[in-house]
C-alpha cells in the first residue's frame, strides 16, 4: 500500500495495468511504455496516472474498472478490448478464443 | 542543533543531525561504488537524497508524472497465506486489482519453488485459468529456482553445503551442476503449463538464493522458455545484490556468475531473454537508513543505466533500503521509493 501511495500508477484506477503490459510484452522502460499507452489513448503521459481522467477513458473504452457497474466489460472481456487497443497479444485472450472455438 | 528522525536498518527510530545524515549518505554511496566498481552519487544527487531523507511528513511521494508500475513476488499469497485470511489466491488477486491498485500480481504456490509446483501443476494451472477469466491486470506465475531443494534427502543430488566444509570441492561442484539441469527442466515444465493456462508471464524469482548455480538455472530456463514461447513475458528477480560463488566457476555467455552485482546481472538477464529485471540490494541492519538508501540507489542507478529492459527494484523487508523488520514503517518505505525512482531511475518496484 505504501508503494502505491508514494509512487504507484494505481493499476486499473488509472493506466498502470496497461503500462505494465508494455513492459512485460515489449521490454519497454517506464517512459517509453507510458508514451506508447498515452499515444494510443490520445492523452499525455502525465495524464495516465490521473484517476479522474483515466476513469472516464476506461468507462468510454470499456477497459475494466475498479467498481464496474452492470453491463460493462469485466475480466477477460475487458482484456479483449485492451489487446485490441494496445495492439498486443494477451495470452489469456488467445487461450479464450481457442477454448471457446473462436479461432 | 536540530536533529531529524530517521531509522536504523533494523527499523528502530533514531535522531541524526544534518552532518551525520550527510556523512552516512557519503559513506553509503562510497561503499556501493567500492564494492561494484561503479560511480558514486554526484553532489547534486546526494543533496537530493538528503532532502528526501529529511523531508517533513510521514509519507512522501514522487513528483507528479514520475509514478511507476509494480510487480510482485508471491503476491497472491500475501492476503491469503501470509495474513491468514481465509480466501483463495484468485480472490486475493482481485482484491489487489480492484481495492489496492496493483498494476500486476503473481500467482504462486505457498512453497514458491518450481520443484514443489511441478507435482501440483494441474491444480495451479486451473487456478491460473480461473484467475485470468476474472482479472484485468497482468497475472504472472511466480516461483523460485530454489536449487537447495534438489539435494538429498529431499532431492536427487548430493548436498554441496555438506560437501564444501569437508573440502570435497569437485563433488560439490558436480552436485550443483546436476541440480541446475533438474531445476531447468522443472521451471520450463511449469512455464509450459502456465502458458497453456493463459498466464501473462513467469516470474523467476529470488534467483541466486542458492548461489551462482541457482542463477545459471534461471538464465538457462529463461532462454528455453523464450525459444518456446516468445510472447510469454518473463521477470527475473534476484535474491541478493551479489551472486554468491557456491560453485565459483559457472559461466553464462562467457561471463563468470560469481561476484556479479546488479549492473552486470541485468545484462545476462537481457541476454537470456527476460523482459523485466528485479534488482535486489540488501539492507544492513546495523547501519542507518541514510547509509542504506544511498548505497542502494548507487547500485540501482548503475543498473538502470546499464539496462535495456525495465528494472523493477525489490523494495520490501530487508531490501531496497527498507529496514529488516516484519512491518516496514511507511516513513522510510515511501522515502526509499522516491529515492529509487527519482535518483535511481527505477522503471518499477
Nearest alpha-carbon partner for B202 in B190, B214, B186, B216: B190
* B74: confidence class by pLDDT, cuts 50, 70, 90: confident
Residues 185-244 of B with CB under 8 A from A: 195-201, 231-233, 235
Contact check, Cβ <8 Å, B334/A2: yes
Q: What's the pLDDT at B1? A: 62
Tens of pLDDT, residue by residue over A11-27, are 999 999 999 999 999 99
Q: What mean pLDDT do residues B12-23 have? A: 98
CA-to-CA distance for B203 and A44, rounded, in angstroms? 30
Spans of chain A below 70 pLDDT: none
Whether B348 shows a pLDDT value over 80: the answer reads yes
Q: Domain extents for chain A?
A: 2-99
- The yes-or-no verdict on residue B61 having pLDDT over 90 is yes
* Residue B286 within any structural domain of the chain: yes
Q: Kindly report the CA angle at A44 between A43 and A49, in degrees rounded to 5? A: 95
Identify the pLDDT of residue B173: 98
- Tell me whether residue B348 is in a domain: no
Query: B264 pLDDT band (50/70/90 cuts)?
Result: very high
Best mutation target, A16, A19, A20, to test chain B (most B CBs within 10 A): A20
Cβ contact, residue pair A27, B341, below 8 Å: no
Per-residue pLDDT at B203 exceeds 80: yes
pLDDT of residue B267: 98
For residue A36, the chain B residues in CB contact (below 8 A) are none
Whether B295 and B281 have beta carbons less than 8 Å apart is answered as yes
The reply to whether A86 touches chain B by the CB within 8 Å rule is no
Provide, as residue numbers in chain A, all residues whose Cβ is less than 8 Å from the Cβ of B136.
12, 17, 63-64, 74-75, 78-79, 82
Average pLDDT, chain B: 97
pLDDT 10s digits, B93-135: 999 999 999 999 999 999 999 999 999 999 999 999 999 999 9
Q: How far apart are CA B42 and CA A4, in angstroms?
A: 28
**Could you give the angle at which helices B89-98 and B121-134 cross, rounded to 10 degrees?**
30
B44-57, pLDDT tens digit by residue? 999 999 999 999 99
Would residue B262 count as lying in a domain? Answer: yes
The parent domain of residue B35 ranges over: 3-342
CB atoms near residue B12 (< 10 Å): 11
Alpha-carbon gap, residue B64 to B142, rounded angstroms: 31
CB contact burial A72-100 (16+ within 10 A = b; e otherwise): ebbbbbbbbbbbeebebebbbbebbeeee
Give me the helix-helix angle, B121-134 and B169-196, nearest 10°.
40
Total CB pairs under 8 A between chain A and B: 175
Q: What CATH number is given to the structural domain containing B103? A: 3.20.20
If one compares B73 and B25, the residue with the highest pLDDT of the two is: B25
Q: Does A67 touch chain B (CB under 8 A)?
A: yes
The SS3 of residue B234 is strand
pLDDT tens-digit series, residues B222-247 = 999 999 999 999 999 999 999 999 99
* Residue B349 covered by a domain: no
Would residue A11 be called left, alpha or beta, if left means φ above 0 and alpha means ψ between -120 and 50 degrees? left
Point out the residue among B70, B101, B135 whose CB comes nearest to the CB of A13.
Answer: B101
Name the B residues in 273-302 with CB < 8 Å from any A CB. 275-276
Q: Do B103 and A9 touch (CB under 8 A)?
A: yes
Tell me which residues of chain B, numbers 245 to 274, contact chain A at a CB-CB cutoff of 8 Å.
none
pLDDT in the model for residue A1: 83
| Residue B19 grid coordinates | 552532518
**Residue A46 CB contacts under 8 Å (≥ 6 apart), including other chains:** B64, B65
Amino acid at each position: 500500500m505504501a508503494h502505491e501511495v508514494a509512487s504507484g500508477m494505481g493499476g486499473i484506477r488509472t493506466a498502470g495495468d496497461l503500462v505494465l503490459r508494455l513492459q512485460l510484452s515489449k521490454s519497454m522502460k517506464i517512459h517509453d511504455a507510458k508514451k506508447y499507452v498515452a499515444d494510443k489513448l490520445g492523452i499525455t503521459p502525465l495524464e495516465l496516472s490521473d484517476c479522474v481522467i483515466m476513469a472516464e477513458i476506461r468507462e468510454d473504452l470499456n477497459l475494466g474498472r475498479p467498481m464496474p457497474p452492470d453491463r460493462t466489460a469485466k475480466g477477460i472481456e475487458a482484456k479483449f478490448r485492451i489487446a485490441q487497443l494496445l495492439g498486443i497479444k494477451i495470452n489469456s485472450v488467445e487461450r479464450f478464443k481457442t477454448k471457446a472455438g473462436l479461432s | 542543533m536540530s536533529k531529524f528522525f530517521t531509522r536504523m536498518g533494523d527499523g528502530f527510530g533514531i535522531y541524526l543531525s544534518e552532518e551525520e545524515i550527510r556523512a552516512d549518505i557519503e559513506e553509503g554511496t562510497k561503499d556501493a561504488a567500492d564494492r561494484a566498481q561503479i560511480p558514486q552519487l554526484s553532489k547534486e544527487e546526494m543533496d537530493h537524497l538528503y532532502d528526501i531523507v529529511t523531508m517533513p511528513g510521514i509519507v512522501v511521494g514522487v513528483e507528479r508524472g514520475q509514478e511507476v508500475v509494480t510487480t510482485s513476488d508471491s503476491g497472491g499469497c500475501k492476503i491469503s497465506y501470509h495474513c491468514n485470511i481465509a480466501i483463495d489466491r484468485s480472490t486475493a488477486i482481485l482484491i489487489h486489482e480492484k481495492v489496492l491498485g496493483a498494476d500486476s500480481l503473481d500467482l504462486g504456490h505457498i512453497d514458491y519453488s518450481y520443484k514443489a509446483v511441478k507435482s501440483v501443476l494441474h491444480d495451479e494451472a486451473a487456478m491460473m485459468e480461473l484467475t485470468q477469466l476474472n482479472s484485468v491486470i497482468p497475472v504472472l506465475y511466480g516461483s523460485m529456482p530454489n536449487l537447495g531443494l534438489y539435494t538429498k534427502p529431499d532431492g536427487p543430488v548430493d548436498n554441496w553445503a555438506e560437501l564444501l566444509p569437508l573440502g570435497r570441492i569437485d563433488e560439490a561442484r558436480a552436485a550443483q551442476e546436476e541440480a541446475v539441469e533438474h531445476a531447468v527442466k522443472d521451471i520450463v515444465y511449469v512455464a509450459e503449463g502456465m502458458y497453456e493456462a493463459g498466464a501473462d508471464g513467469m516470474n523467476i524469482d529470488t534467483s541466486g538464493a542458492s548461489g551462482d548455480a541457482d542463477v545459471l538455472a534461471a538464465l538457462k530456463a529463461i532462454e528455453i522458455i523464450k525459444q518456446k514461447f516468445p510472447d510469454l513475458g518473463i521477470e527475473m528477480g534476484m535474491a541478493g545484490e551479489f551472486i554468491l560463488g557456491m560453485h565459483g566457476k559457472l559461466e553464462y555467455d562467457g561471463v563468470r556468475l560469481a561476484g556479479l552485482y546488479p549492473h552486470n546481472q541485468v545484462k545476462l538477464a537481457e541476454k537470456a531473454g527476460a523482459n523485466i529485471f528485479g534488482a535486489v540490494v540488501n539492507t544492513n541492519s546495523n547501519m542507518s537508513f541514510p547509509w542504506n538508501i544511498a548505497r542502494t540507489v548507487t547500485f540501482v542507478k548503475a543498473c538502470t543505466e546499464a539496462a535495456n529492459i525495465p528494472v523493477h527494484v525489490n523494495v520490501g523487508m530487508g531490501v531496497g533500503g527498507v529496514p529488516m523488520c516484519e512491518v516496514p514503517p511507511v516513513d522510510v518505505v515511501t522515502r526509499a521509493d522516491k529515492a529509487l525512482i527519482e535518483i535511481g531511475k527505477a522503471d518499477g518496484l
